[in-house]
């Protein structure tokens, strides 16, 4: 790449910020013309192309990126040793190359998928769909502490009931199939909720598994969506408990739902509407965990009281999951969490990783409309 082209590419970064800022002011426009039209076509096309190979292209790109950084460092050191007088020129050229790459990558991220952060909030879509279905004119769903307690009780009951029906190994939950079977069966969950969310339908290819999943565990990451290849990727080394709902979570990102809380909520609905019991159980546990955290902070006394009703089988699965992740806690996990936190804030999620708790707001809205008041 010529120097002029590199300098020109630097303009893509401020251009990306301008596009992102302007689009944040028009969520209805982004929802209709970007998320449900342009981006949908783009992702379907990318996922179709990337599905030509069975492995994750995104994972290979990560390997190449790491290798490129290492080679760049080696070249930088080698150049300084052999020609110390050119240090200033080397630094200037290296900096221009790095900034140019960052600018292009960020521009592609925004255009290919990142604008989904500015789409209409899912809570608004839930209310709009409800109004359309039942000819109502609700604009907001009020939530209170009693609703949160009722939701937690409901999820405990559902988790306990589905736990009785799942497969187990040494009294620990086991999915009906291995990870390949989970990935293959996952799309059925989305097919069963198209009435609630018509826009999630589409010709998307299956989720891919990360070959280096065991290494990925040290980062605390269970899945990742690649906007550049249209691939939903999952960590298959994790316990079965959350694997079905994690696959559906990454599929939600693939369908244009960028925020974590919205992807979690959609994964929950797709899980509990899946015909297979292992998906249902994984979905209920996902929602139970988030609701428990919310009630713990809001009303500790009722949290303790309600939690006594969680079955021993569910508790065994939760303990096993916690013990698994305890083995991987450390500096890498902390760094990964900080990077994720910065990433979320950079894309307009001001609460960072704390926004994951907002899934409970969506659960309360949904159940106040469709369950508790009907």
Helix (H) or strand (E) holding 225: strand 223-226
Which residues are paired to 172 by β-bridges?
169
243/245 Cα distance (integer angstroms): 6
Tokens 């630097």, located at residue: 10
User: What is the edge-to-edge ordering of all strands in the sheet holding 231-234?
Assistant: 208-209, 231-234, 223-226
Q: What pLDDT, in 10s, does the model give residues 93-109? A: 888 888 999 999 999 99
pLDDT at 79: 79
Tokens 């008041």, located at residue: 373
Give the burial class of 173: count Cβ atoms within 10 A of its Cβ; 0-12 exposed, 13-18 middle, 19 or more buried.
buried
Chain-centroid distance, C-alpha 353: 11
Tokens 């120097």, located at residue: 3
pLDDT at 100: 92
- Spans of the chain below 70 pLDDT: 1, 85, 330-357, 372-374
Q: Work out whether strand 231-234 and strand 223-226 pair parallel, antiparallel, or are unpaired.
A: antiparallel
* CB contact set of 161 (below 8 Å; sequence gap of 6+): none
Q: What pLDDT, in 10s, does the model give residues 139-168? A: 888 888 999 999 999 999 999 999 999 999
140/151 Cα distance (integer angstroms): 18
* CB contact set of 104 (below 8 Å; sequence gap of 6+): 9, 12
Q: Is 223 helix (H, G, I), strand (E, B) or coil?
A: strand
pLDDT at 374: 52
pLDDT at 329: 77
What pTM value is reported for the model? 0.90
pLDDT at 254: 97
């Amino acid at each position: 790449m010529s120097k002029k082209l590199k300098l020109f590419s630097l303009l893509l970064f401020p251009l990306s910020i301008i596009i992102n800022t302007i689009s944040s002011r028009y969520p209805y426009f982004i929802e209709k013309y970007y998320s449900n039209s342009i981006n949908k076509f783009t992702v379907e096309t990318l996922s179709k192309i990337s599905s030509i190979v069975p492995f994750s292209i995104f994972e290979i790109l990560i390997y190449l990126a790491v290798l490129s950084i290492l080679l760049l460092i080696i070249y930088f050191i080698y150049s300084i040793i052999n020609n110390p007088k050119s240090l200033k020129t080397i630094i200037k050229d290296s900096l221009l190359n790095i900034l140019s790459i960052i600018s292009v990558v960020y521009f592609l991220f925004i255009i290919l998928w990142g604008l989904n952060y500015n789409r209409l909030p899912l809570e608004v879509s839930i209310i709009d769909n409800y109004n359309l279905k039942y000819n109502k004119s609700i604009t907001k769903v009020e939530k209170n502490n009693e609703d949160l307690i009722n939701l937690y009780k409901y999820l405990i009951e559902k988790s306990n009931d589905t736990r009785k029906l799942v497969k187990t190994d040494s009294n620990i939950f086991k999915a009906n199939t291995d990870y390949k079977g989970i990935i293959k069966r996952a799309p059925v969950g989305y097919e069963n909720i198209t009435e609630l969310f018509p826009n999630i339908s589409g010709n998307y290819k299956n989720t891919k598994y990360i070959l280096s999943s065991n290494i990925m565990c040290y980062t605390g990451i269970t899945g990742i969506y690649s906007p550049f290849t249209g691939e939903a990727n999952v960590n298959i080394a994790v316990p079965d408990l959350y694997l079905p709902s994690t696959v559906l979570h990454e599929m939600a990102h693939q369908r244009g739902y960028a925020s974590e809380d919205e992807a979690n909520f959609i994964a929950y609905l797709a899980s509990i509407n899946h015909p297979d019991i292992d998906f249902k159980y994984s979905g209920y546990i996902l929602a139970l965990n988030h609701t428990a955290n919310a009630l713990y902070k809001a009303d500790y006394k009722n949290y303790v009281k309600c939690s006594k009703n969680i079955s021993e089988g569910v508790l065994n699965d939760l303990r096993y999951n916690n013990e698994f992740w305890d083995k991987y806690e450390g500096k890498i996990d902390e760094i990964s969490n900080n990077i994720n936190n910065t990433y979320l804030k950079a894309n307009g999620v001001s609460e960072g990783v704390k926004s994951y708790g907002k899934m409970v707001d969506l659960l309360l809205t949904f159940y106040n409309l469709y369950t508790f008041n009907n």
